[in-house]
Amino acid sequence: MNGKLAIDGGSPLLTRADYKNGPVIGPDERRFVNEVLDTGIVAGGSAPQGKALEAEWARYTGTRY
């Protein structure tokens, strides 16, 4: 390191190989997103997937809600 920031002409500490791509969106993720979009309800208390998640989380944590 030469004491200068890369933005000021110094050598970068990280190379492109140091950066990792985000998670891959696979067929399962696409299917789940499409299921939500197909309902036409993507947010709010009446969203089917939201209600299902709430119920599953309540069961998992052993709580009523």
- Tell me the per-residue pLDDT of 4-60, one tens digit each, with 9 for 90 and over: 998 999 988 888 889 888 888 999 999 999 999 999 998 888 888 889 999 999 999
| Residue 1 binned pLDDT confidence (cut-offs 50, 70, 90) | low
> In one letter, which amino acid is 34?
N
pLDDT at position 60, please? Answer: 97
Question: Which residue is associated with the tokens 């993720």?
Answer: 29
* Structure-token pair, residue 24: 């891959």
Domain of residue 28: give its range.
22-65
Is 61 in a helix, a strand, or coil? Answer: helix
What amino acid occupies position 53? Answer: L
Q: Is 53 part of a structural domain of the chain?
A: yes
Domain presence at residue 64: yes
- Rounded CA gap, 51 and 62, in Å? 16
Angle, CA of 31, 36 and 40, to the nearest 5°: 135
Whether the model pTM is above 0.85: no
**The pLDDT of residue 46:** 85
37 within domain boundaries: yes
Domains of the chain: total: 1
Residue 58, in any domain of the structure = yes
